[in-house]
Amino acid sequence: MKSAAPVKMFNFLYFALLALFIPFLPVFLDNQGLSPSQIGFIVGTGGFITIFAQPLWGMISDRTKTIRKVLLFLLIGATIVGYFLFDSTSYGMLILFAMLVYFFLMPIDPLTESLNFRVSEGLGISYGSIRTYGALGYGVMSLVTGYLMSYFGAHSLALTFAGIGICCFIVILRIPDAPVTSKPVTIEGLKRFLSNRETLLFLLLVFISSIPARMNDTFLGVYIRELGGSTELVGQSFFLAAACEIVVFALSFWWLRPGKELLIITISGAFYFIRFFLSAWITDPHLLAYLQILQLLTFPVFYSAAIQYLYRIVPKEWRATGQTVLALLFFGISSIIASFVGGAVYEAFGAHTMYLSVSAMSFVGMLFGFLLFRIYGKSQLTESQSAE
């Protein structure tokens, strides 16, 4: 592959789809009259679908040694069912089509990240230089979606989702398959990867830290509207967060150093705690929206470092599956707990208690990250410095 331009464009469009689906699905469901617990049920059940769908398509990609063909198939399915989801009004149809979107759309994320990493390696450019366009697409679409819902109604998202999906399909046709490893894929290799103590502890850290992030993603829009904010303000808050991601991903070549991943993850965990603790006490929806600037030091920092750390410890032939496991924890299993528990806590005790709970979990994640850095990080940092 001679240029990363098609991959960058695909990142922009795909993450625009995610921006329309992840933060605005709860807002759309709230607009249809669903309660926080019902919203939590749909998003949480979608997490169950993701648990099975992401490993399934990750394994298919690894065994068939193709990312592009799998992406094409998933995009067709996601585009069709996404249109029907945002065109539905009945509770039963909303559940059905939401589950199908989770099945087709969410597995694209880890495959896209794997594609990004492999293309960046093949072209000798930074991962962040590609992923920046995903953050840009997420930010732009977050802002646009808020205004679309306000001026054209919630169901205008149906045609918007389908249109972006078709554009994604057209762009992916121009992208050749990413280079694959020549090593054979074996179940024994995956077992060795998952039985490694360092790997298991790292995945546990990701799991603990991702639950608060997913709970915030699910209920931030609902919280802003409860405080009196508009759907435009919801879009602006997610745009602000995504704009911060653009800066972080673009400069990843500068701050993301080999051997320092666990230390960086620990620092981002500290800012997660600060962000959610402050959210618990805010009563002004505009101030809550402005607080999303702390995204600058949380998700993009945590996730970039986690991907790089994972790719350093996973066997090459299982990279797509390893990326899927990471995404499964960050966006799948954690989303189930965050949605079901978060919806129940929100409805029973309110947003204040919910955000205090997630800030406490973020604090635990920060401490656990520091512990892993003390055990593994220092030796790896020494090895990286010696290699340089």
Residue 338 confidence (pLDDT) above 80: yes
Q: What integer pLDDT is reported at residue 317 of this predicted model?
A: 65
Per residue in 47-100, pLDDT (tens digit) is 888 888 877 887 788 788 788 889 999 999 999 999 999 999 899 999 999 999
How many domains in the chain?
A: 1
49 found inside a domain: yes
What's the pLDDT at 189? 60
Distance of CA 240 to the CA centre of its chain: 16
Beta-carbon-side half-sphere exposure of residue 184 (alpha carbons within 13 Å): 3
CATH number of the domain residue 319 falls in: 1.20.1250.20
Query: What pLDDT band is residue 101 in, cutting at 50, 70 and 90?
Result: very high
Q: How confident is the model at residue 380 (pLDDT cuts 50, 70, 90)?
A: low
Residue 1 lies in a domain: no
Q: Judge contact between 225 and 118, C-beta under 8 A.
A: no
Q: pLDDT tens digit string along 155-195?
A: 999 999 999 999 999 999 988 776 555 455 456 665 666 67
Q: Which residue has the tokens 């597995």?
A: 107
The DSSP 8-state label assigned to residue 256 in this structure reads -
Mean pLDDT is highest, among 32-36, 165-169, 334-338, for: 165-169
In a domain, 57, yes or no: yes
pLDDT tens string 141-157: 989 998 999 889 989 99
The answer to whether residue 117 sits within a structural domain is: yes
Which DSSP string corresponds to 271-313?
HHHHHHHHHHH---HHHHHHGGGGGGGSHHHHHHHHHHHHHHH
pTM of the model: 0.76
What token pair was written down for 356? 């205090």
Nearest to 100 by CA among 79, 74, 81: 81
Each residue's pLDDT tens digit, 277-322: 999 999 999 999 999 999 989 998 998 899 888 878 776 666 666 7
Domain, as residue range, for 156 = 7-176+186-387
| Residue 274 within a domain | yes
Mean pLDDT of the chain: 86
Residue 348 lies in a domain: yes
Is a pLDDT exceeding 80 seen at residue 324? no
Residue burial 351-385, b: 16+ Cβ < 10 Å; e: rest: beebbbbbbebbbebbebbbebbeebbeebbeeee
Separation of alpha carbons 214 and 231, rounded Å: 20
Instruction: Kindly tell me if the per-residue pLDDT of 387 is higher than 50.
Output: no
As a whole number, mean pLDDT of residues 228-245 equals: 89
- For residue 2, is it within any domain? no
